[in-house]
Amino acid sequence: MSADVLVIGAGPTGCALGTYLARKGVKVTLLEAVEKPESVVGESMLPGSGPIFDELGFDTTGFLVKHGAVFCQDGGSVRFDFKEAEDQRHTHAWQVQREVFDLRWRDVATRAGCEIVYGKAIRADVPGKTLHTTVGALSAGRIVDTGGRTMWLSSTLGLRVGDPKLKNSAIGTRCRGVKMLAPDEPGDITICCIEGGWIWIIPFGDGVASVGVVMSPASPLRGTAEERFAAAVASSPDATARLADAERIFPFRGLSDFTATSTSFHGEGFALCGDAATFIDPVFSSGVLLGLHGARGLAAALTGSAAEEAALDAWQAEYREGAGIFRKVIDHWYAGDFMTLALAPRELQKPYFRRGIVSLLAGDVYRTGATASRLMADRMPTLARAVRSSSLGA
């Protein structure tokens, strides 16, 4: 069996890539290890993915609409609404159960003409362009790994580099009976800060929510997943109040050391996209957005009129630049600057200040002309220092 492009992984990145390529007449095979998508992490979408959902005809029916995000720390809380963002084209996003979301992405890809083969990649001959899989050898003009954060091809080719500053781990589950409390609006994601980490609450409607804890190496939490989860919730008055009557309805899933990138996203006969190329800490729910924009750019580079090598270099530079904005803000998050600004007294919050934060939360990092998010990423530490010395308004 031979395709023009063989994509490893039919997650959102792989399906978006396959769809863009197939629409340009490229013969695409998606190799997917798991027949029935699972309830994996990556459940909170950003408005910045909206244009790609629209372009590819992604059906959002039934997903809870998300209008903003709430951040809490020691009983103080603040809500940001996407309506305050610089980009007004998409002022909402969705909270998605991944077992449904991923299946819909596969439908999008199949409708566009991609073939999905179920099997697992086990060895790649690159640049020979042959992939050895559990269902035999597959060949293609190019192999693209979109197989997620195991970064299989990147690791195999010696391109993967871990992030020395971010060695976090996470545990997540789903709960029933989760309450909304002011200032939460229906559909908001809630992030509760705790010592050495943070808790996410992503609602799906009817009191059911994905709940998880991200822990830095400095986290004092120890013990089993159950013990760490309970201690994390108990250490946050904001999470405790929202989860007071909640019961866990899913087993815990654990993840660790998930921030990494690749020294190159492409080479002779191969490319890497989505988490398989680069993944940064999930605090700003940026993973799917980065994967989708990476996929759109990669498809354009492979099917455009520019010389392929130059087009791929330009794609990689643009893809890294958007991811780099989030990477910068994640450092500001763990330095405490984000929450200093977020919880600053209203009289210190200038309109550009909230617009910058909301534009970042909306994922406005790839739009031509996006300035609010870039400026905020650069100026956050200075603004936070000014808030700490209460001199911002002076």
Cβ(308)–Cβ(302) below 8 Å = yes
Residue 93-132 contact track with ligand FAD, rule CB under 6 A, x = bound: ---------------------------xx-----------
42 binds ligand FAD (CB under 6 A): yes
Q: Residues 18, 48, 197, 282: which binds ligand FAD (CB under 6 A)?
A: 282
* Paired tokens of 139: 């060949």
Q: How far apart are CA 17 and CA 12, in angstroms?
A: 8
Question: Does residue number 11 form part of the binding site for ligand FAD (CB under 6 A)?
Answer: yes
Task: Answer yes or no whether residue 363 interacts with ligand FAD by CB under 6 A.
Answer: no
Q: What is the DSSP letter of 137?
A: E
Positive or negative: CA dihedral 344, 348, 354, 357: negative
Q: Which stretch binds ligand FAD (CB under 6 A): 78-86, 221-229, 287-295, 386-394?
A: 287-295
- The amino acid occupying position 299 is A
Q: Which is nearer to ligand FAD, 33 or 348 (CB)?
A: 33
Dist CA 148 CA 112 (whole Å): 22
DSSP result, 203-249: EEETTEEEEEEEE-TT----SSHHHHHHHHHHT-HHHHHHHTT-EE-
Residue 133 neighbours by CB distance under 10 Å: 20
Q: Which of 5, 6, 7, 10 lies at the binding interface for ligand FAD (CB under 6 A)?
A: 10
The reply on whether position 275 binds ligand FAD by CB under 6 A is yes
Tokens encoding 309:
């090598």
Spell out, one character per residue from 146 to 185, where the chain touches ligand FAD: x when CB under 6 A holds, - when not: xxx-x-x-----------------x---------------
Q: What is the CA radius of gyration of the chain?
A: 21
Which of 44, 236, 349, 373 forms a contact with ligand FAD (CB under 6 A)? 44
Integer Cα distance of 161 and 327 in angstroms: 15
- Binding footprint of ligand FAD, residue count (CB under 6 A): 35
Q: Which of 23, 33, 314, 371 binds ligand FAD (CB under 6 A)?
A: 33
The H or E element spanning position 362 is none
Stretch in the footprint of ligand FAD (CB under 6 A) among 11-19, 50-58, 157-165, 217-225: 11-19
Residue among 297 and 392 whose Cβ is closer to ligand FAD:
297
Question: Coil, strand or helix: which one is 81?
Answer: strand
Contact residues for ligand FAD (CB under 6 A)? Answer: 8-14, 31-34, 41-44, 120-121, 146-148, 150, 152, 170, 212, 255, 258, 274-275, 279, 282, 285, 287-289, 291
